[in-house]
Structure 1
């Protein structure tokens, strides 16, 4: 073998060892870098005319198991969804409070309703007490205010989710841009025979980031290009980038219609089932509206229950005008039966005039107005679409069903002539403004219908029994349909409120457990990938030591060759 051939072999061994040592050193240096995969060299022997001429490193690669990578991306999507669900469930639980506390009293809407019932029971014991009357109004306002606050809080969580969807879309688009840019670099490098291992690491990290915000499908083509789509097949990265587009709502209410998440004008919202965006869509459009529905059911039942009972009573002194809340028109039929007592009294509740009105023969609302106008001291009309009854002599007005009803409801309740609460849901429920302001006292009296009174008789008196009937109505069971994760049930108002609070706590507990499970799954998948492609420092250190020996041997061979060459030159000169 010639000196030239020996020098070529030794030099190539020296250069190959140097490259391999560099790769091993880089592996050790990046062992703790997230997403870094172990790089290996591809080394082959070279030959010419059948004789070996040395060795050469042809490539630096990293072998990433495509199935393990797919597991990590899928687990990242599930973890992203679980993280969002847990955060929203925690926020919801914090909003609703608890039915128990360290002091033994709860902080939830169920406890506020119970406090109202307690205030009504106290007032029933001394119905004429101004202090207890004010306390009952304050307790009722606390319930209505808390329901409004809870409703606003739920809508606030929906607004947060909507805003976070826009943020997550930005994250997704950044990841898509990164993947597309790296595709170009990887394809170009492969075409030139250059290493793409580090570029592929960076692209895989971007893919995992993308998977964290939405579930995706992907393939890697033979030329190294990665193509990404939604799980339903809508392209996100092919020969170009197809960005997600989303505009969050300016204001979020329970009837807000949200824009869709689009790709090239196509709404892909329904194609996103996991990741942070999938979970945010579920919270905004399903979970939180379900909670709102339960709150509205509670508020609606409270309004109906208290108004029905409260309309059987009157304040003392009585009001000079009764204004309904039910929309009616003059030509509307009146489906009524029985006898209604209508009376005017002085400020002490002593009768001035009265009439017992037979409703059975009254066919329409206009006929009812005519009949009411025929009562001494009474003026009735349909104004702004509601029934209005006014005293013409400055006295107060009180009405009571002797045995009358309109569409199976009490007369006053049907027309809403003495409603305690106004509004229709948790977002709008309020105590009637004049009662809350104190210009009209909370009703504690009832009109006597037991006989035919004479002028001057006390017919309007404070009644503990009436006040207690309000609490009794609240404590009665009502039927609630299944909604928002809460099963169909028959329970009282406080009991249903407790179910809502318990459901929020249950959601938080389930979400925490799910997050722990998804985190474990992700960690397992990530560990498996790391075990397959990560750096083992001990192995790399041993390899580096071995390569140093190879390098030293090659260097020693060159030194020996040089010495032999010098000896030959000296011999030739002599």
Structure 2
């Protein structure tokens, strides 16, 4: 063996040992670095003409178990989804306070009914009246505050989605750039472990934002795809887009997330999101927070309805000079039809002495006032005639009003105690909201009492658009539906449920016995429907079809 060969062999050993020491040094130095992957130096023996000529470190690689890495990334993605859901939903929950506590929102609701119960035992107590009214106002103010805060949570989720999309774009750009660097290092037999370590950390960050799958490229680096196979990086990087508005949105007008693959077409990314922070944010924004707001609205609607039921069953003493109802969202002829039972409109003086009385009887589609037959079209004229000028009933912009003619007189509505008037379970005064305690500028009760034969009051050609979301949150399709000629609910339902000009391929609308309009998916359909826009205006009330039926 020549002296040169001996020296070269020794030198190769020293260089290999130096490389191994550097690798060990890196591993020890980064033992507490989050996301750091241990390095391994692959050392091989060298021979020359069958004679050993030293050692060489052919490459420095990461000690990565691809199966465990994929499992860890999947678990991290799901943990991130659940974490962001917990964070935002905990904020929503905190708005209501402890359900079993004495100071939370639900305790306030209980205190409202307790206040009115106490008032019933001492109805002449001014302090109790003021306390009951204060508690009622406070709980509705608190409900409005909570509803606004829920919308702010949605807006926050929306803003974080925008930030997440920008972060994903930055990560994909850096991962693709590192792919090129790793490939060059492999081609020149250089140490690629540095950029590979950085790339592994970036992949971990990306996995927290959205679920991804990685595979090793032959040239070095990785190919990154979404859970459903969309190419994100490996042959160029994909670009994500998100249309964003910083304003608090009303219902479901938030934007969609789109992805454009390298050399591919632009399409929705929501098909690909099954876990990660982006998926969790979309779930809270589009499903869970709106569901909480909807349940809150349903609770407060029922609380208001029950308070109004009791208030309309009674009258102030002395009665007020004027009773002004709520906007029922219908023409009077439609609203007055369908009642049963008996009611009375009474005009009294300041001492409570009856000055005029109109006894109203509804039976089997017919109606009388003091025994005088009337129709929906002539009811108001007949009622005013029977009141003899002591009071006037009028209907404008969807609102029924009763006005006593003399300033010192009052007007009251009282149902017959044996056979009270009823429509959708509400008496004459309650249905029109003539003596409501809790008032609203828009319809709040969606049991309209309308039937298939009822005239809906929307002009033919007016349009509204329905938006259908897949179960993962992506927009499937927008469908615009025009109000058909005919004017009755039967023709409107037929148009809505048409598979050609309506939403019949996705589900169907039905009108129940109380006139509430509901939508149900076709069997097996797991999509969600929302209103994208509504250009309908009902005459004479001025409300939209969406507002009328909720």
Q: TM-score, normalised by structure 1?
A: 0.69
**SS of residue paired to 2:38:** coil
Change (3 A) 1:425 1:27: farther
Does structure 1 retain, via aligned residues, the 8 Å contact 2:45–2:56?
yes
Where do residues 74-473 of structure 1 align in structure 2 (5 Å cutoff)? 74-101=74-101, 106-264=102-260, 265-325=266-326, 326-332=328-334, 334-359=337-362, 360-361=367-368, 362-374=373-385, 375-376=387-388, 377-394=390-407, 395-402=409-416, 403-407=419-423, 409-423=426-440
- How far apart, CA to CA, are the structure 1 residues paired with 2:443 and 2:181? 57
Q: Secondary structure, in 3 states, of the residue corresponding to 1:270?
A: coil
| More helix, by proportion | 1
The CA deviation at 1:140 is 0.8
- Quick check: 2:159–2:246 contact (8 Å CA) kept in 1? no
Q: Give the SS at the match of 1:61.
A: strand
In structure 2, do the counterparts of structure 1 residues 192 and 368 end up closer, same or farther at CA, with 3 Å as the change threshold? same
Q: Deviations over 1:531-563 (max 9, x none)?
A: xxxxxxxxxxxxxxxxxxxxxxxxxxxxxxxxx
Note the alpha carbon deviations across 1:26-68, whole angstroms, 9 max, x for none: 3322322223333233333333333333333332222311111
SS of the residue corresponding to residue 341 of structure 1 reads strand
Task: Tell me if structure 2 keeps the 8 A contact 1:59–1:195.
Answer: yes
Q: Could you tell me how far apart the structure 1 residues matched to 2:5 and 2:402 are? A: 119
Work out whether residues 300 and 424 of structure 1, in 8 Å CA contact, stay in contact via their aligned partners in 2.
no
Paired residues of 1:322 and 1:417 also in contact (CA < 8 A)? yes
TM-score by length of 2: 0.72
Residue 154 of structure 1: SS of its match in structure 2? helix
Find the residue that maps to 2:86 and give its secondary structure.
helix
Corresponding residue for residue 461 of structure 1? none
**Higher CA-based Rg:** 1
| Structure 1 gaps, min length 5 | 429-480, 482-574
CA distance in 2, matches of 1:129, 1:350: 24
Aligned-partner SS, 2:377: helix
Using the alignment, how far apart are the partners of 1:11 and 1:33 within structure 2?
33
- Structure 2 regions of 5+ residues with no counterpart? 261-265, 446-517, 519-550
Work out whether residues 318 and 398 of structure 1, in 8 Å CA contact, stay in contact via their aligned partners in 2. yes
Q: Which has the higher contact order (CA 8 A, sep 6+)?
A: 1
- Displacement of 1:363 in angstroms is 4.3
Question: CA contact under 8 A between 1:155 and 1:252: conserved in structure 2?
Answer: yes
Query: How far apart, in 1, do the equivalents of 2:280 and 2:196 lie?
Result: 29
**SS at 2:378 equivalent:** helix
Greater CA deviation, 300-309 or 182-191? 300-309
Question: How many angstroms apart in 1 are the aligned matches of 2:444 and 2:377?
Answer: 34
Question: Following the alignment from structure 1 to structure 2, what is the Cα–Cα distance between the partners of residues 163 and 318?
Answer: 53
Shift of 1:426: 12
Q: Is the 8 A contact 2:179 2:222 kept in 1?
A: yes
Question: Secondary structure at the residue paired with 2:176?
Answer: helix
Distance 1:48 1:93 in 2: 74
CA RMSD of aligned residues (A): 2.5
